[in-house]
């Protein structure tokens, strides 16, 4: 843990303020979702089909997953501050390139470079673990991601409005301004939280076997991957369900897609409030249980013929609530196995989560047809939520076994 002193806002000799971490984690979510309403217009302007321009989403997720494997070790070696500022600088340059791109190929190339902003998600969690103990880390991560949860609700509305009045490139202009503000804030407020000269690459490599062979690391990471996988599956299929199955208008679809984020924000608040009191394992189990119950109920109601949009999306709020309870604790657990490799662990766990989520999102979209209705999606979300619960139960079982052996 770093010996850096208690946070003082806009003092880079101290730990960063929680507002800085919230904005650092929120910027990637803004960049991911703000131009989703504009994909059709972008395809028309570039003279390409929707499948190609959709690479701005799926390709971006894949690049993000790979990047997280690199960012963590670099930050463990060279420090969080340098890597954050370098990544934000690359992001700003890439955003300008994407905004001015004359062709879809150039746009997609700069779009992949924009994935550097995912550094904010990885290192905001690692920074939290640098400065506070495990249980408190879950609480603080809960507050950080609670603020981040608001972005996916608001960003598509902002992007759609900017597109309608000024064109889709205006959304990237908004992102550019937001990125510049966050970079300036990090420059002024983000104190280094890695002690000394960091952990050398050779020392990291020596520590990998302990990290990668740790059942606790894999248990927490798989809990996060499966739990968030249900949400990514929803992202892959919800638009189709809302429009093709329920016949909702674009405006109502936007509100429906915001229902999980509502639950997620409340779940993060509860994590921030109670993680220290109940511990990360109980919070993660509570979250995966809530999500499993919600998705199981949704599937059961569909099987007996209850097929209404407010029921489907209303129960998706429980999926968001469950993820909000589970994610901060699962993240805190995965980066606490080897605290000196918190960045590496955060990156690896995040890559598993994003990579698996991208696959589940694509799979969910391929399963749905007008004839099947939402049932394949409901079944998939239920199964992966249950697997998330199984993962944390295995962690708890192992800890009990080790405790008995020590006695």
Q: Are 14 and 8 in contact (CB under 8 A)?
A: yes
**What mean pLDDT is reported for the chain?**
84
Residue 407, pLDDT > 70, answer no
pLDDT at 122 (0 to 100): 81
pLDDT at 201 (0 to 100): 63
Token reading at 93 = 């340059």
Q: Are 364 and 236 in contact (CB under 8 A)?
A: yes
Q: What is the pTM of this model?
A: 0.73
Task: Please tell me whether residue 5 adopts helix, strand or coil conformation.
Answer: strand
Whole-angstrom distance, CA of residue 329 vs CA of residue 236: 25
Selected residue with higher pLDDT from 33 and 115: 115
Domains of the chain and CATH, by start: 18-406 (1.20.1250.20)
Whole-angstrom distance, CA of residue 240 vs CA of residue 4: 49
Residue 305, pLDDT > 80, answer yes
Residue 170, pLDDT > 60, answer yes
Hey, how many other C-beta atoms are within 10 angstroms of the C-beta on 96? 15
Token reading at 373 = 């209705």
User: Band of the pLDDT at 2, cuts 50, 70, 90?
Assistant: very low
User: Band of the pLDDT at 88, cuts 50, 70, 90?
Assistant: very high
* Mean pLDDT confidence for 88-99: 97
- CA-nearest of 394, 339, 399, 400 to 218 is 394
pLDDT, one tens digit per residue, over 339-352 is: 767 667 777 787 78
The listed range with the strongest mean pLDDT (34-38, 161-165, 345-349) is 161-165
pLDDT at 187 (0 to 100): 94
Residues belonging to the chain: 407
């Amino acid at each position: 843990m770093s010996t850096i002193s208690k946070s003082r806002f806009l003092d880079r000799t101290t730990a960063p303020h929680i507002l800085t971490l919230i904005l650092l984690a929120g910027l990637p979510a803004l960049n991911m979702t703000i131009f989703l309403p504009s994909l059709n217009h972008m395809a028309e302007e570039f003279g390409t089909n929707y499948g190609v321009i959709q690479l701005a989403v799926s390709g971006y997720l894949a690049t993000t997953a790979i990047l997280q494997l690199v960012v963590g070790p670099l930050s463990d070696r060279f420090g969080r501050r340098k890597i954050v500022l370098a990544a934000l600088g690359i992001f700003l340059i890439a955003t300008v390139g994407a905004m001015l791109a004359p062709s879809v190929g150039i746009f997609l190339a700069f779009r992949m470079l924009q994935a550097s902003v995912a550094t904010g998600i990885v290192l905001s969690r690692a920074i939290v673990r640098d400065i506070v103990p495990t249980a408190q880390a879950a609480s603080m991560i809960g507050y950080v991601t609670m603020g981040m949860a608001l972005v996916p609700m608001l960003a598509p509305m902002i992007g759609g409005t900017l597109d309608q009045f000024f064109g889709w490139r205006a959304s990237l202009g908004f992102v550019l301004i937001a990125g510049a503000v966050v970079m300036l804030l990090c420059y002024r407020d983000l104190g280094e939280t890695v002690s000394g000269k960091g952990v050398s690459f050779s020392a990291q490599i020596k520590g990998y076997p302990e990290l990668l062979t740790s059942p606790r690391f894999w248990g927490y990471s798989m809990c996060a991957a499966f739990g968030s996988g249900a949400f990514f599956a929803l992202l892959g299929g919800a638009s189709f369900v809302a429009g093709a199955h329920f016949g909702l208008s674009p405006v109502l679809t936007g509100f429906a897609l915001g229902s999980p984020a509502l639950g997620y924000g409340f779940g993060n608040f509860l994590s921030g409030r109670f993680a220290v009191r109940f511990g990360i394992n109980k919070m993660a189990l509570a979250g995966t249980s809530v999500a499993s119950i919600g998705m199981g109920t949704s599937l059961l109601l569909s099987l007996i013929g209850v097929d209404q949009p407010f029921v489907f999306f209303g129960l998706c709020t429980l999926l968001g609530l469950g993820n909000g309870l589970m994610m901060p604790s699962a993240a805190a657990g995965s980066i606490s196995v080897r605290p000196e490799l918190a960045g590496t662990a955060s990156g690896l766990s995040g890559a598993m989560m994003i990579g698996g989520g991208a696959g589940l999102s694509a799979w969910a979209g391929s399963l749905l047809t007008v004839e099947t209705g939402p049932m394949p999606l409901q079944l998939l979300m239920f199964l992966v939520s249950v697997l998330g619960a199984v993962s944390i139960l295995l962690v708890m079982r192992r800890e009990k076994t080790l405790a008995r052996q020590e006695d």
